[in-house]
Amino acid sequence: MLKELLDQSESIKDINHFFEDEKKKLIEDGAVIYELAGDTIGRQQESGRKFWYVTNGGQQLLQLPSLRTEVAIYPDPERFFVPKSGGKDLETIKALLREDAKNLRMRLKLDRIDEIVPNEASTLTELFFKHADKTGVLLFGSEFGFLYGITNNPINDQATRVANVGSADVEHGLCIRGWFHEVGNAHVHVVRLVVPGH
């Protein structure tokens, strides 16, 4: 499983960017854009980034690099997560995400953008630290209800448990827990993570 995910991430050498008109419309709509560059949770830990808990997910959690892409998020706590995505199983969440992305494309008149559940927990952790460094605001912190964002990052051999990232505080940092994706959890939502089309 780890080899497949690493092969997939290695196949994208260059960072994927939004077009300028996409950036302009997203920013005007309240989004902020960050460039993610393939960081790993293992490197974040080694560099002294704060994690108050990291579930035992092995190398497929710690060494899987984040997406190499620009991403847009809505830092307003009311818009950060896809609405009504808490407490749902992963398949239902994906359906809600597809609908949310469709509505965003129609509203902004941007055909190429999409929304994803990241395959890598490191995509959300890198995004968390970049936003905290830039603004001092902790995504997944108290303003965000200490909620978690789901990922497709498996943390067991059967891939029945996936990592979720959240519940951040200033003193202790960020948390990564496991989740059985066949059942919902009221504390686990999907981040409105907007990416450019390929």
Q: How far apart are CA 136 and CA 194, in angstroms?
A: 22
Map out the domains of the chain as residue ranges. 2-195
**Gyration radius of the chain's alpha carbons:** 16
Q: What pLDDT is attached to residue 182?
A: 75
pLDDT in tens, 68-86: 999 999 999 999 999 999 9
Find out whether 177 and 163 touch, Cβ atoms under 8 Å: yes
pLDDT in tens, 136-171: 999 999 999 999 999 999 998 877 789 999 999 999
Distance of CA 89 to the CA centre of its chain: 17
Give the predicted TM-score (pTM) of the model: 0.91
In which band, very low, low, confident or very high, does the pLDDT at 4 lie, cut at 50, 70 and 90?
low
